[in-house]
Amino acid sequence: MESVQAIKQRFEIIGNDLKLNRAIEKAIQVAPTDISVLVTGESGVGKEAIPKIIHALSHRKHAKYIAVNCGAIPEGTIDSELFGHEKGAFTGATTTRSGYFEVADGGTIFLDEVGELPLTTQVRLLRVLENGEFLKVGSSQVQKTNVRIVAATNVNMFQAIEKEKFREDLYYRLSTVEIAIPPLRDRKDDIHLLFRKFASDFGQKYKMPTIRLDDEAVAVLLKYRWPGNIRQLRNIAEQTSVLEENRSISASTLIGYLPNAGSSNLPAIVDKQKKESDFSNEREILYKVLFDMKGDLNDLKKLTLELLKNNDTGKVQQENENLIRKIYGNEDEPYTEDAEESNEILHLPEPKVEHTFTKPTVEDKYHFAEEIEEEETLSLQEKEIELITKSLERNKGKRKAAAAELGISERTLYRKIKQYDL
C-alpha cells in the first residue's frame, strides 16, 4: 500500500493539513474494495482528486474511468447519458446509444455534483447500486453492469433530504464511506504553498518571471476566507502573474484582486431555508397602524372639545382642517415619493369635512362627547373590515393591489375576505 506522501506526489496534491491527510488515507484504505464512496466538501476544494486515487489503487485501474458532471447535463437528457437509449425512444434518437454505465462496465464512474440529479434519475441510480441492473431509455430489457460508483457533492445532503430533493435511501447507499475534504480557509499552512506552486506553474506557462508575495501580502493571503477555495486561489495566482509588471506583489496590490477583502472574517451561520411568513408579523403591523390612527383621532377629538368649550368656532374649523391634513394628507397636492413613504401601509382618501359650524349649545357638547365615547368602543375587527373594504373598492376589487396597499400578503388578504365574508 502506497504512503500518503507518495500519493500526494503522484497526484500533485500539495499540503500537509491533518484533515487532508486523513481524507487521502481513507481513499487509500477503501480503494481495494468495491464499496461506494461519497466525497463531500465545498466547491473548489479539489474533490475530483479522491475518485482518481481510488480508481488508480483499485483492481479496476486498467478498466474505464468516467467522470460525469451531473449538474452540467440537462434534466431531459441525463437518463440517456447515464443509461443509454434505444432508437426512436424520443425525438432525435435516430440510433441506439450506449450510456456511461454500459461503457464503463468493469471500471469506475465518478458522479460529480450528484446532489443535482433529478428524482427520477435517482431511482434508476439506486437500482444500479442495489443489484447492478439498469434499463435503457425506451427499452424493456434489463441490462447488467459491474461499475464502482464514487460520488461527490458540495450541498448539505441532510437539508436536501429534508426538502425532498434527494432520496434518503440513495444517500445511505452512496455514502457507505464518506470522505470530507476541508475548505482552504481551514488549511492555513497550505495556502501560501499552493500559491507559490501556482505562481511557478504560470510563470513557466507564460514564459515570465515567477511572482512573489511580500510579508504583508502573505498575511493578507492567509487572512482571506477563500470562498472559492483552491479554484479561486489558482485564478488569483494566474491573474497576478499575467497582469502585474512588478513581480513582487504587495498587500495593497493583492487586495485589489480579492473580492470583499475588507469585510469581516468572522464566521457566520446562515440559514438558507426560507421559513413561511408568520401572520402574526402582518397582524402586528396592521394593529400598529390602527393604534396610530386611534391616537390621531383622539387628538382631533380632544382639540375639538377644547375649542368648543371656548366657543371659538373659527379656530375649530382651522385647527380641524390642519389636523386632518396632517393625518390624511391633501388630495390637491401632487403625488411624491415622500408622501408614499409616509403612508406606505394605507392610502386613505381625505375625509370630507363639514366647514359650516353653528354655535354649539350645552346639549350639543354633551351629545358630541357621548358620540366620542361610542366611537372609542369600536373594535379593531370593525376597523380592519372597514380598511379592507375601502382598499378593495379603491383598487376595483384587485386583491393583489389591495394587499400591497394594506401592507399584507395576498394570501392573508384572501383569508381575511373569507373570514369576514366580504
Residue 338 has pLDDT above 90, yes or no: no
Residue 258 has pLDDT above 70, yes or no: yes
Residue 265 is assigned to a structural domain of this protein:
no
Rounded distance between C-alpha atoms, residue 46 and residue 307, angstroms: 80
Q: pLDDT-based confidence at 179, cuts 50/70/90?
A: very high
Residue 264 is assigned to a structural domain of this protein:
no
Q: Where are the beta strands (DSSP E) in 169-326?
A: 177-180, 212-213, 248-249
Percent of the chain clearing pLDDT 90 (strictly above)? 58
Give the model confidence (pLDDT) of 351-369 as tens digits.
444 444 455 554 554 455 4
Give the model confidence (pLDDT) of 68-96 as tens digits.
999 999 988 999 999 999 998 888 888 99
- The per-residue b/e assignment along 172-203, b for 16 or more CB within 10 angstroms, e otherwise, is ebbbebebebbbbbebeebbeebbbbbbebbb
Q: Rounded mean pLDDT of 295-324?
A: 68
Kindly report the backbone phi and psi dihedral angles of residue 87, in degrees, each rounded to the nearest multiple of 5, phi listed first.
Answer: -60, 130
> What per-residue confidence (pLDDT) applies to 300?
73
User: Quick check: 199 and 210 in contact, CB under 8 A?
Assistant: yes
| Domain limits for position 360 | 279-420
CA angle at 411 for the pair 407 and 415, rounded to the nearest 5°:
100
Residue 277 has pLDDT above 60, yes or no: no
User: Quick check: 236 and 184 in contact, CB under 8 A?
Assistant: no
> What per-residue confidence (pLDDT) applies to 331?
46
Q: Which residue has the higher pLDDT, 305 or 208?
A: 208
Q: Which residue has the higher pLDDT, 180 or 360?
A: 180
Residue 263 is assigned to a structural domain of this protein:
no
| 64 SS3 class | coil
User: Quick check: 153 and 109 in contact, CB under 8 A?
Assistant: no
Q: Please tell me the total number of residues recorded for the chain in this structure.
A: 422
Single out the residue in 163, 182, 201 at which a domain terminates: 182
Q: Which residue has the higher pLDDT, 18 or 339?
A: 18
Q: Which residue has the higher pLDDT, 110 or 293?
A: 110
Distances (CA, A) of 418 to 57, 252, 382, 395: 67, 62, 15, 18
Q: Rounded mean pLDDT of 302-320?
A: 66
Same domain as 413, residue 339: yes
Q: pLDDT-based confidence at 276, cuts 50/70/90?
A: very low
Residue 266 is assigned to a structural domain of this protein:
no
Residue 349 has pLDDT above 60, yes or no: no
Q: Which residue has the higher pLDDT, 301 or 211?
A: 211
DSSP letter string, 163-191: TTSS-HHHHHHHTSEEEEPPPGGG-HHHH
> What per-residue confidence (pLDDT) applies to 269?
52
Residue 262 is assigned to a structural domain of this protein:
no
Rounded distance between C-alpha atoms, residue 216 and residue 235, angstroms: 20
User: Quick check: 168 and 179 in contact, CB under 8 A?
Assistant: no
Q: Rounded mean pLDDT of 209-216?
A: 95
Same domain as 207, residue 352: no
- Mean pLDDT (the chain) is 83
> What per-residue confidence (pLDDT) applies to 344?
40
Same domain as 388, residue 364: yes
Percent of the chain clearing pLDDT 70 (strictly above)? 77
Same domain as 213, residue 155: no
Is beta strand 37-40 parallel, antiparallel or unpaired with respect to 177-180?
A: parallel
Give the model confidence (pLDDT) of 278-289 as tens digits.
455 666 777 777
Q: Which residue has the higher pLDDT, 331 or 1?
A: 1
User: Quick check: 185 and 29 in contact, CB under 8 A?
Assistant: no
Rounded distance between C-alpha atoms, residue 300 and residue 322, angstroms: 10
Same domain as 283, residue 245: no
> What per-residue confidence (pLDDT) applies to 222?
95
> What per-residue confidence (pLDDT) applies to 293?
79
Single out the residue in 182, 201, 234 at which a domain terminates: 182
Residue 101 is assigned to a structural domain of this protein:
yes
> What per-residue confidence (pLDDT) applies to 60?
96
Residue 166 is assigned to a structural domain of this protein:
yes
- The per-residue b/e assignment along 291-321, b for 16 or more CB within 10 angstroms, e otherwise, is eebeeeeeebbebbeebbeeeeeeebbebbe
pTM greater than the 0.85 cutoff: no
